């Protein structure tokens, strides 16, 4: 009688967390990484430590994608966001585990965060073809003219994602920027970047065109100034900047080419109704005059 051989010891396949630029997953050109730990201080992974060149590459990819994305119909952009929500819903268990490790949340709390994230995507998807009705209008004028105001996307938006909300906060600042036709360069939560990197896998397998969302991981204090000062970035969301001194410095950098800036600390409760503020922040009003005729 032969005995069953001992099963070989299985070596776990560790996930490599990379950047997400132009629809691809490169490592940082610098070759640097940094340790990411759980809320309890346990080692989770090494994340890419992005450099100035990575930010430049991300801005270039966002600019290249802007014409196609802003030119898509609002209805189509809503469909794309809804598709992201569908795929995230299908990977709920994975995101619950990621959020638990990143934020130290209980399983119940992590489930609520993931549920709220999916709902937030659906909410913004529903606004895609309605925000123009709220922000645009026909203006009364004294003369034989039509005077119509319509919203247009600002362009490339740099986003410093919230530090305290690695998934729900991230989606709450990225979704309003892209649903209105902007493209984005996102610096993920420095302390808890892993759920953001996993989210890029959802974006890459959904209908979001390459370059619409570009995400880098690393030091906010290092990457923020390069993003704020880049002359091809048109807007800046400082949601993840906790230091008033750094926020003031980034605002000063952004003034070089009159970027639209959402200041740090404007939202702290990411479960609250987001309202329209972040969608309107990166829209510009275009007014057209047209004669009525005789």
The domain limits of the chain are 33-291
SS3 2: coil
On whether the CB atoms of residues 217 and 48 are closer than 8 A, the answer is yes
On whether the CB atoms of residues 160 and 113 are closer than 8 A, the answer is no
- Given this model, what pLDDT does residue 149 score? 74
Q: Dihedral sign, CA of 119, 124, 125, 129?
A: positive
- Given this model, what pLDDT does residue 293 score? 67
On whether the CB atoms of residues 199 and 170 are closer than 8 A, the answer is yes
- Given this model, what pLDDT does residue 249 score? 95
SS3 154: coil
CA angle 180, 181, 186 (to 5 degrees): 95
Cα separation, 259 vs 9, whole angstroms? 55
Cα separation, 204 vs 209, whole angstroms? 8
- Given this model, what pLDDT does residue 3 score? 63
Tell which residue, 102, 77, 83, 50, has the closest CA to residue 222. 50
pTM over 0.85: yes
- Beta-carbon contacts of 114 under 8 Å, excluding residues fewer than 6 positions away, are 88, 92, 95, 96, 99, 167
Q: With a cut of 50, which residues of the chain have pLDDT below it?
A: none
HEC readout, 85-136: HHHHHHCHHHHHHHHHHHHCCCHHHHHHHHHHHHHHHHHHHHHCCCHHHHHC
Beta strands in the chain (DSSP E): 33-37, 43-48, 137-138, 145-153, 156-160, 183-187, 213-216, 235-237, 260-262, 283-291
- Given this model, what pLDDT does residue 208 score? 97
- Given this model, what pLDDT does residue 286 score? 79
Q: Count CB atoms within 10 A of the CB of residue 243.
A: 13
Tell which residue, 157, 165, 85, 156, has the closest CA to residue 125. 85
- Given this model, what pLDDT does residue 146 score? 74
- Beta-carbon contacts of 215 under 8 Å, excluding residues fewer than 6 positions away, are 19, 20, 21, 58, 186, 187, 188, 196, 197, 199, 200
- Given this model, what pLDDT does residue 4 score? 65
Q: Phi/psi zone of residue 5: left (φ > 0), alpha (ψ -120 to 50 degrees), beta?
A: beta
Tell which residue, 28, 53, 26, 20, has the closest CA to residue 185. 20
The torsion angles phi and psi of 156, rounded to 5 degrees, stand at -90, 125
Return the CATH class of domain 33-291.
alpha beta
SS3 155: coil
Q: Tell me the pLDDT tens digit for each residue of 231-282.
A: 999 999 999 998 999 999 999 999 999 999 998 765 578 999 999 999 999 9
């Amino acid at each position: 009688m032969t005995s069953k051989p001992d099963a070989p010891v299985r070596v776990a396949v560790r996930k490599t967390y990379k950047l997400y630029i132009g629809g691809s997953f490169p490592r940082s050109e610098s070759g640097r990484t940094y340790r990411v730990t759980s809320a309890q201080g346990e080692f989770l992974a090494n994340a890419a430590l992005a450099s100035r060149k990575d930010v430049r590459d991300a801005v270039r990819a966002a600019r290249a994608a802007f014409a196609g994305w802003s030119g898509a119909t609002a209805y189509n952009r809503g469909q794309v966001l809804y598709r992201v929500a569908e795929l995230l819903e299908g990977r709920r268990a994975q995101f619950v585990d990621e959020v638990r490790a990143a934020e130290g949340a209980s399983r119940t709390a992590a489930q609520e965060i993931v549920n709220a994230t999916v709902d937030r995507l659906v909410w913004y998807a529903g606004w895609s073809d309605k925000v123009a009705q709220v922000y645009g209008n026909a203006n009364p004028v004294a003369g034989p003219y039509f005077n119509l105001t319509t919203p247009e996307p600002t362009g490339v938006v740099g986003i410093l994602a919230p530090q305290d909300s690695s998934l729900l906060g991230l989606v709450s600042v990225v979704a309003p920027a892209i649903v209105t036709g902007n493209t984005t360069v996102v610096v993920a939560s420095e302390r808890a970047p892993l759920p953001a990197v996993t989210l890029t896998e959802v974006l890459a397998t959904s209908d979001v065109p390459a370059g619409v969302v570009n995400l880098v991981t690393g030091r906010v204090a290092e990457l923020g100034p390069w993003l704020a000062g880049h002359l091809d970035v048109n807007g800046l969301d400082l949601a993840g900047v906790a230091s008033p001194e750094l926020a003031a410095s980034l605002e000063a950098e952004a003034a070089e080419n009159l970027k639209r800036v959402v200041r740090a600390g404007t939202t702290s409760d990411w479960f609250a109704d987001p309202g329209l503020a972040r969608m309107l922040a990166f829209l510009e009003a275009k007014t057209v005059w047209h004669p009525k005729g005789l």
